[in-house]
Structure 1
Amino acid sequence: MSPVLQGCLTLAAILLLIGLRLPVGLALGVAAFIGTAALLPLPAAISVMARVPYEFSASWEFSAVPLFLLMGNVAWRAGMTDGLFRMAELGLARLPGGLAVATNFAAAGFGAASGSSLATTVSMGRIAIPEMLRAGYHPSLATAVCACAGTLAALIPPSIPLIVYGILAEQSVAKLFFAGIVPGLLTALAYTVMIVLRCRFNPALAPRVEVKAAPGEWRHLLTTSWPLPLLALVVLGGIYGGWFSPIEAGGIGALASIAFAALQGRMGPRRLWQVCLDAARTTAAILFIAIGAFMLTRYMTLTGLPAAVATGVAALDLPPVLMMAAMAVVFLVLGMFLDPFGVMLISISVLLPLFERMGYDLIWVGIIVVKYIEIGLMTPPVGLNVFAVKSIAPGIGLPTIFRGALWFLLAEAVVMVLLLGFPDLTLWLPAQLL
């Protein structure tokens, strides 16, 4: 059997193992080791694979992941999102679907501190869903906006998926951060337009509500909500100003978030311990999958499958638009069954050489890949963000949430057409700033 064919069979075996509910990281690592042992003598296979866990876990770039997760967890546990949502609610409630629009923009704001789609979804859902249901909003809109707006955290920096992609593709994390800003804001705008138009033509979806600020409420909100925008300013401003790297920004952001929460009396020793435990658990889960993916990447290099795929596709001489459409199908199908990091880590090991061979800018490719895998968070049957919303709104069925998410997928289709058709929307900002 040729190494390329063996690589194809290994990929099929991985999908089968994941379908049998084997953890993604274990499926990747076991399949990669067995495949390597079939190509090389067993001592050589052990030598090759034994170094991978240490090489990845000791990566300086990966240290940003637990730091940004810690920063987001502190902001969430300290209740910094409560005031953010209330400010958006007071400012936007008069629009058609105003509470949903407020949730959308509050999620974008919280995404600038958390970097995690699931954390943003759960945090905003706990605040916004009860508020919208009390106001008479249709359950499909109230739940879907939280599930879908949570994905904005994957693009608006700091973004955990962009850090992982930067490590895999050996690209500048700082450039990826700034490249994600315009697509993230464009997605938030597309969601807003869709919500307003739907609610304008179907007022029953979202009855108009009168939201008035209590005397002195704005002053109170400003004094309690200032940490989130300041955190985003510290992280992005420090990177742009060249004062510290994205990895150092994670440490400074985590320390600043703890200090801000302590100043507000919202971060005692017990809560800080729980926050650190949550960040450690999430980091361990990401690390476990990433190590398995790096083992798979090392094995794929031995088989020559990525180079064969790149050569074969390049020989077809497909137009770039058709090529990216085919990539969209691949990512969306994988996203229906695998978690986002599983999709990224499996696909990049095979497709990255293809993107390089075709001359695509890998910063732009990173934003497109992250967009695709985040869209997978909204699509059945996995739809992790949808399941997260279901866990905090147990009285609302999954079909209802998925039906609401379909409208957001239409908005995503418009955004993807713009990003694919006009790469400068993604690349202009990092070119100006870095």
Structure 2
Amino acid sequence: MDTLTSGLIVLALTTAFLGAGMWIFVGLLMAALGTLSITLGYPPTRIGLIASKVIASKAVSWELAAIPMFIWMGDIIFRTDISQRLFLGLAPLVKRIPGRLLHTNVLGCALFAAISGSSTATCATVGKITIPELIRRGYAVDLASGSLAGAGTFGLLIPPSIAMIIYGVIGEVSIAQLFAAGIVPGLMMAGLYSGYIALRSWRNPEAAPRDGTPIGWREILKSIGNLMPIIILMVIVLGSIYSGLATPSEAAAVGVLAAIIITIATGQFSWMLMRDSLGATIRISAMLCILIASSSLLSAAIAYINLPTAISETIAAWKLSPYLLLFILTLIYIVLGMFIDGSSMTVMTVPIVLPLVVHAGFDPVWYGIYLIIMIEMSAITPPVGLNLYILQGLTGRTFESTVRATVPFFFLLCIGTVTLAIFPEIALWLPRHLFSH
């Protein structure tokens, strides 16, 4: 059977199984098994051998150990008052900036993302403190909710990031380098968001009411004290990785221990907290790992029929410029993001798309950061953008008004994508500097 026919069969099987409403991992698994059976004519015994070998090799990958550890660390912090301390710490520091407390959404999400790794957890944790407070003080609801929806996606871009670990495992790309590559783009996006908030507030002062309370050194020192738990956790986790003392998986385990110590030091430790956080971690980790395993089998089936090479050669024959290819991929990712979540989008597309972008001359580490921004877009894109539903629950507004509030931040993500494409060193400079030896 020729490669084109085999590719159409893969597409048809995947579309049919996922379109039938199956769980995504079941749909991917069935599509993989069907591909091996129909296109290659393998008997069940050989398919079973391939499946067990591929799934076992991915399921025991050491890099995957970082996923439950980072999820557990973030969930422990989520169940404490760290998010409230975060707001109290940031509020006095931003009062003199145009936009004032609206910047606590951006800065709070940026800091919490460095200990969470999850977009939804970042958005929900920071939002449950900032949104009620901003509404109570008379800040513009559209700007408050839109900025939180956009900044909540920092949980994917600013390390440690669960999405980066998934991409690194599937694409066989250094997770430590991906973590380093996400820092500067994350700060860039935070700067774009804060700049937009400042501009909107300058043009419409009513969006951010003035607070005449003077800020002294005592308040500033108290603010820094409130921020210390998150800063300490950031330094321990990221510092151990970039200093070379620990791998991402080892640093995640150290981060869990540090999070437990912080809960003890702040008087919030309880066995119920540990039980609940561990239960949530097991559920989320099991979902992600089985998704990775099933997608790995589909990737293996696609490789067996030589589909990635055939697609790469076909697109090379079209002689598309690298940036035209990137533009087409961006449109595809935006459409996909309207219907499937970021993890599913990663495991479904990376096996096919990564060889294409590498062949076009893009660095796989750079592409990982580009993909994360595409996933960020999906988090605020209807109808399945999870951050939109979180914001709707926090503000009590209609879904349509919540979507309208996030539109400017969607376009800021587009600006960030273009900037990253024109200046790839924004993502690549730090990992090259840290891992050049």
TM-score w.r.t. length of structure 2:
0.94
Q: Over aligned residues, Cα RMSD in angstroms?
A: 1.9
Q: How does 1:188-267 map to 2 (within 5 A)?
A: 188-210=190-212, 220-267=222-269
What residue number does 2:145 align with? 143
Q: Which moved more, 1:19-28 or 1:67-76?
A: 19-28
How far off its partner does 1:401 sit? Answer: 1.2
What residue number does 2:377 align with? 375
What residue number does 1:98 align with? 100
CA distance in 2, matches of 1:326, 1:211: 51
Alignment-mate amino acid for residue 385 of structure 1: N
What residue number does 2:422 align with? 421
What residue number does 1:35 align with? 35
Q: Which moved more, 1:211-220 or 1:323-332?
A: 211-220
How far off its partner does 1:87 sit? Answer: 1.8
Q: Which moved more, 1:15-24 or 1:312-321?
A: 15-24
Alignment counterpart, residue 119 of structure 2, candidates 92, 117, 120: 117
CA distance in 2, matches of 1:268, 1:234: 23
Q: Which moved more, 1:281-290 or 1:217-226?
A: 217-226
CA distance in 1, matches of 2:422, 2:217: 49
CA distance in 1, matches of 2:244, 2:326: 34
What residue number does 1:22 align with? 22
What residue number does 1:405 align with? 406
CA distance in 1, matches of 2:36, 2:393: 40
How far off its partner does 1:199 sit? Answer: 2.0
CA distance in 2, matches of 1:184, 1:249: 20
CA distance in 1, matches of 2:187, 2:275: 34
How far off its partner does 1:215 sit? Answer: 11
CA distance in 2, matches of 1:428, 1:156: 16
Alignment-mate amino acid for residue 409 of structure 1: F
How far off its partner does 1:210 sit? Answer: 4.2
1:11 aligns with 2:11: yes
Corresponding residue SS for 2:246: coil
- Residues 90 and 211 of structure 1 are in contact (CA less than 8 Å); yes or no, is this contact kept in structure 2? no
Corresponding residue SS for 2:382: coil
Alignment-mate amino acid for residue 105 of structure 1: L
How far off its partner does 1:330 sit? Answer: 1.4
Alignment counterpart, residue 88 of structure 1, candidates 76, 81, 90: 90
Corresponding residue SS for 2:159: coil
CA distance in 1, matches of 2:49, 2:4: 22
Alpha carbons of structure 1 residues 132 and 19: separation in structure 2 relative to 1, 3 Å? farther
CA distance in 2, matches of 1:244, 1:294: 27
Instruction: Work out the percentage of aligned pairs sharing the same amino acid.
Output: 33
Alignment counterpart, residue 360 of structure 1, candidates 335, 359, 362: 362
Alignment-mate amino acid for residue 240 of structure 2: G
- Residues 147 and 386 of structure 1 are in contact (CA less than 8 Å); yes or no, is this contact kept in structure 2? yes
Alpha carbons of structure 1 residues 96 and 214: separation in structure 2 relative to 1, 3 Å? closer
Q: Which moved more, 1:220-229 or 1:282-291?
A: 220-229
Deviations 1:110-157 (A, max 9, x none): 000111111101101101110111122233222222221111121111
CA distance in 1, matches of 2:302, 2:152: 33
- Residues 119 and 153 of structure 2 are in contact (CA less than 8 Å); yes or no, is this contact kept in structure 1? yes
What residue number does 1:59 align with? 61
CA distance in 1, matches of 2:216, 2:362: 53
How far off its partner does 1:391 sit? Answer: 3.1
Deviations 1:358-397 (A, max 9, x none): 232111111111111111111112111112222333x211
How far off its partner does 1:161 sit? Answer: 0.7
Unpaired segments ≥5 residues, structure 2 = none
CA distance in 2, matches of 1:64, 1:184: 21
CA distance in 1, matches of 2:19, 2:143: 31
How far off its partner does 1:14 sit? Answer: 2.4
Alignment-mate amino acid for residue 428 of structure 1: W
What residue number does 1:430 align with? 431
Alignment-mate amino acid for residue 230 of structure 2: L
- Residues 139 and 400 of structure 1 are in contact (CA less than 8 Å); yes or no, is this contact kept in structure 2? no
Deviations 1:205-235 (A, max 9, x none): 3333445679966555544431211111111
- Residues 290 and 345 of structure 1 are in contact (CA less than 8 Å); yes or no, is this contact kept in structure 2? yes
Residue-pair matches, total: 433
